[in-house]
Structure 1
Amino acid sequence: MNDLERLVRLAARAVGRHGLAHAYGHCSARIDAERFLVCTPVPMGHMPTDAHGTVVPLDGPLPDGVLGEVRVHREIYLRRPEVGGIVRSMPPKIMSLSTLGKTPRPRHGFGSYFFPSIPMWDSPLLIRDDEKAAALAEQMSDRPAIVMRGNGLVTAGESLEEAVVLSWYAEDAARIELDVLASGGGEGGPMITREEAQARATWSGRILERMWDYLTFGDTEI
């Protein structure tokens, strides 16, 4: 458990350090088929090195002190046994783009990981009940991410490292989309094709590891 607790702390600080979250947001890692570990409810960039997080069961109520939207993590883990880590973040470009009713389109390499698009949960309200959390998880389905209109992003990966990297990729895809819109390009321009996405959205060649190293560089727990 000590290694998993350290991983959760590293992930939280990486998300905060790179501007993907501020006072709000949380991340978690699966322990086993029945439990996951969610980070301590403090600003992720300020995560203490002695924080232990909270173990959350998949089949019961949220433990005392756990943030209400952590029920989104629970519903995703319940439906997707392949998921090992989840990040709930507030990336600024994702937020801006979502207020236009848009999510990033697959225009560049990092966008290919979300082909053909990132779905949008079309509500800016916080998810504080089980019914809405389950509905969001159902809409997300087997996708790596879902945007919450005016309310941030959820990413899910086979590992927490992957979920963190996907958060950065999604924000970069939103940056590209906003740049295209600002240039007057509108909805035009070439998109990544299905065949290109299948070839480009790979983790081989230490792609995941190199981005994780970049995002965690300088952390005192490395």
Structure 2
Amino acid sequence: MRRAARALGKHGLVHAYGHCSLRVDDDHFLVCAPKPLATIAPGEAGTLVSIHGELPPDVLGEVRIHREIYRRRRDVGGIVRSMPPKAMSLSVMGRTPMPTHGMGAYFAPAIPLWNDPQLIRNDSEAQRIAGQLGDAPAIVMRGNGVVVAAPSVEDAVVLTWYLEDAARIELDCLAAGVAPIRLDEDEARRRATRSGRIFERMWDFLTHGDPE
């Protein structure tokens, strides 16, 4: 989890704000220390959180989003709450990154938009956003970043990078005055592969040089 946190900070996917977590077992998850992720030190402890109980007093309020997703989705083993700048820019246009290239294929057919810029600081809102996420790998929050849910925290970090790259490409196309071409259902299905160590190589790239 610490490596995941530092990778997110190193590559500009978070700044002062953001957090990540990993599932420990059916009843608990571990969330990173409540500080800028790039500053998390080797060996620095996170906090164990019950999936079924109240949040501990020393974790950030939006960690309740993680809790609600873990409650609903047994397939999720890692979550990243991030602030990727290109995805943020698209979000205030009321858009989420379209699947237009290989790395965007993992989000087909579309990434849902949480159309509310407020912080998630109560259980009812966390339940609502987890419900809107549904079975999707990510949800974009208008003017407020991204939540990615994946089978592992490593996958969640990789998908966060993929989502931001999809946002970058879409913004480049829009700036050029050209509408990007969306992958069709078959193109997205065939391209969203895990073979060839696709995710593993991106994880290695994002964490290269990490002290742990």
TM-score bracket relative to the smaller structure: over 0.9
Q: Where does structure 2 lack aligned partners over 5 or more consecutive residues?
A: none
**Is it true that 1:35 corresponds to 2:37 in the alignment?**
no
> Offset at 1:204?
1.1
Residue 196 of structure 2: aligned partner: 205
Q: Specify the code of the residue in structure 2 equivalent to 1:13.
A: R
Residue 86 of structure 2: aligned partner: 93
Q: Specify the code of the residue in structure 1 equivalent to 2:140.
A: V
**Is it true that 1:50 corresponds to 2:43 in the alignment?**
yes
Q: Specify the code of the residue in structure 1 equivalent to 2:211.
A: T
Q: 2:108 aligns with which of 89, 109, 115?
A: 115
Provide, for residues 128-158 of structure 1, a one-character-per-residue CA deviation record: whole Å limited to 9, x for no partner: 0000000000000000000000000000110
Q: Specify the code of the residue in structure 2 equivalent to 1:205.
A: G
**Is it true that 1:181 corresponds to 2:174 in the alignment?**
yes
What SS does the aligned partner of 1:31 have? Answer: strand
Q: Specify the code of the residue in structure 2 equivalent to 1:37.
A: L
Residue 75 of structure 2: aligned partner: 82
Q: Specify the code of the residue in structure 1 equivalent to 2:86.
A: K
Measured in 2, the distance between the counterparts of 1:75 and 1:202 equals: 28
Same amino acid, percent of matched pairs: 61
What SS does the aligned partner of 2:173 have? Answer: helix
> Offset at 1:181?
0.7
- The 10-residue stretch of structure 1 (45-54 or 72-81) with the greater mean CA deviation from structure 2: 45-54
Provide, for residues 8-27 of structure 1, a one-character-per-residue CA deviation record: whole Å limited to 9, x for no partner: 10000000000000000000
> Offset at 1:203?
1.2
> Offset at 1:190?
2.3
Contact 2:170/2:180 (8 A) holds in 1: no
Residue 3 of structure 1: aligned partner: none
How many residue pairs match? The answer is 212
> Offset at 1:189?
4.0
Provide, for residues 19-43 of structure 1, a one-character-per-residue CA deviation record: whole Å limited to 9, x for no partner: 0000000000000000000000010
Residue 123 of structure 2: aligned partner: 130
Contact 2:112/2:132 (8 A) holds in 1: yes
> Offset at 1:52?
1.0
> Offset at 1:50?
2.2
Residue 184 of structure 2: aligned partner: 193
> Offset at 1:64?
1.3
Q: Specify the code of the residue in structure 2 equivalent to 1:171.
A: E
Question: Cα RMSD (Å) of the superposition?
Answer: 0.7
Q: Where does structure 1 lack aligned partners over 5 or more consecutive residues?
A: 1-7
Give TM-score, length-normalised by structure 2: 0.99
Measured in 1, the distance between the counterparts of 2:181 and 2:13 equals: 27
What SS does the aligned partner of 1:117 have? Answer: coil
Q: Specify the code of the residue in structure 1 equivalent to 2:187.
A: E
Residue 5 of structure 1: aligned partner: none
Q: 1:59 aligns with which of 48, 52, 55?
A: 52
Correspondences of 1:9-28 after superposition (within 5 Å)? 9-28=2-21
Measured in 2, the distance between the counterparts of 1:58 and 1:72 equals: 11
What SS does the aligned partner of 2:25 have? Answer: coil
Q: Specify the code of the residue in structure 2 equivalent to 1:119.
A: P
Residue 134 of structure 2: aligned partner: 141
